[in-house]
A and B are shown apart, each in its own frame.
Chain A
Amino acid sequence: MKQTKLIMGMPISVEIVGSEVDHKIFKEVFDYFRYVDGKYSTYKPDSEISLINAGLPKKSWSHEMKMILRMCEQTKRQTNGYFDIVRGGQRDPSGLVKGWAIQNAASILAKHGYRNFYIDAGGDIQVSGKNAKGKPWQVGIRNPFNRDEIIKKITLSTEGVATSGTYVRGQHIYNPLKPKEAIKDIVAITVIGPDIYNADRFATAAYAMGKKGIEFIEKLKDYEGYMINKDKTATMTSGFGGYVSRQT
């Protein structure tokens, strides 16, 4: 059973394998994402993060917010400064919060006893167990040059996979986040890891590193990466091949 909702400006899909799935579980998961959006969106003036950026004194910050900001600091250290949520004095932890929220949503499902499911929030995914056919999950990596196309298929059981990258149309390669700036040498990087929280934050940092991003992933134990370069070639970490699906 699968449901999709548009939350945080992106499609969030939850599929739980099995016919006896309680509908209320979907609501619980989507409500959780709505809660996260309401608290961490810097584009909602009444969110806690917006109030903090507007000068809310530290003693009024929630326990969870302090934890998130500590996790951001830790990630910044682990990625040699490439993961940085502070810009112009304003904090924006959404780059970490997305993967963290998917991870927590997966824990909600696990807590209710579900073992076979996936949660996909705008292309960042946590899979668990097996698909409806009783096989490991088949995950495609989207072609950043042609979003109708899949350029790699990977087989996952209980793992997180996140892609960080840009958006390419026709002959024009540009970064929608900085349309006037020249693009880097890389277009996207997909990272597979034991869970989506870590896969996502490392994918974000690796993408910011440009060509060296794949080296960074190579150095991380238990993480594999597939980096798509501007010239339509891909560079992969040494263990990535172990995830590639055999063609059927």
Chain B
Amino acid sequence: MKYNTRKFLLSGLVVLTFIAYSYQQRHDDESAKVVAPTSQATSSSVNPASTQSSNGSAASSGMHGMMSAAYKDGSYVGNAADAFYGYIQVKAVIQNGAITDVQFLQHPNDHSTSIEINNQAMPYLKQEAIKAQSSQVDIVSGATDTSYAFIESLKTALNKART
């Protein structure tokens, strides 16, 4: 009996600690969301898109550069860019000098099979909110190849819109 009470108290303590911990974690995550993007992150990785671009910045900030330029209205087709898994080709639609739509004319098919995934419960694995880190790294891993081709194709489409 005495043992049971102790066990009960102990598990209560564990539950409380967990609640407190998760509250704190959530609080941490909220503050993490406002962390400003670091441009160093991309410069430490290799990004020919940025070296070729007149904006000289990372791919996504390169996009912002493209967005802010004035373009002639119309539809412009970019060159097909090799994404290793196939070619990506986009069409940019400009209205009132701004990009209003980017359509995929060509894109490689997915490599993965499309087998139905059954929604069985997952075993308990640690989860966390993603959070920006300092960018002091030697190399960066990420899914970059198709985005690179996308940017290449879009860049040529927008160059046509400029002239």
Contact = CB atoms under 8 A, between A and B. Distances in A.
Interface in B46-78: 46-48, 58-61, 63
Contacts of B126: 235-236, 238, 240-241
Given A140-B41, A163-B141, A176-B146, A4 B125 contact: no
B111 A204 contact: yes
Interface residues on A, range: 35 or more
A167 B147 contact: yes
A122 B141 CA distance: 8
A176 B134 contact: no
A217 to B, nearest CB: 10
Nearest to B130: A151
B126 to A, nearest CB: 5
Contacts, number: 234
B81 A9 contact: yes
A10 B42 CA distance: 15
Given A118-B139, A150-B135, A166-B143, A177 B127 contact: no
B120 interface: yes
A208 B112 contact: yes
Given A9-B149, A176-B150, A177-B108, A153 B137 contact: yes
Contacts of A118: 138-139
A13 interface: yes
B138 A150 contact: no
A95 B146 CA distance: 13
Interface string B1-43: 0000000000000000000000000000000000101110110
A149 B37 contact: yes
Interface string B121-154: 0110111111111111111111111111110000
B110 A10 contact: no
Interface string A182-209: 0010001010000000000000110111
B107 interface: yes
B112 A233 contact: no
Interface string A65-92: 0000000000000000111110100001
A114 B156 CA distance: 40
B144 A10 contact: yes
Given A8-B84, A122-B144, A169-B60, A148 B42 contact: yes
Given A8-B82, A238-B125, A151 B131 contact: yes
B6 to A, nearest CB: 30
Contacts of A84: 112-113
Most central of A122, A175, A228 by chain B CB within 10 Å: A122
B95 interface: no
A212 B150 contact: no
The 10 closest A-B pairs by CB, nearest first: A142-B142, A208-B112, A9-B82, A140-B137, A165-B143, A122-B145, A148-B37, A84-B113, A9-B84, A167-B147
21 contacts: A9-B84, A11-B148, A95-B111, A120-B139, A122-B145, A138-B138, A139-B139, A141-B141, A142-B45, A142-B142, A146-B37, A147-B59, A147-B147, A151-B131, A153-B133, A164-B143, A179-B104, A179-B107, A208-B112, A234-B129, A235-B122
Given A145-B130, A177-B107, 4 more contacts: A167-B143, A211-B122, A232-B130, A236-B125
Interface of B: 35, 37-39, 41-42, 44-48, 58-61, 63, 81-88, 104, 107-113, 115, 117-120, 122-123, 125-150
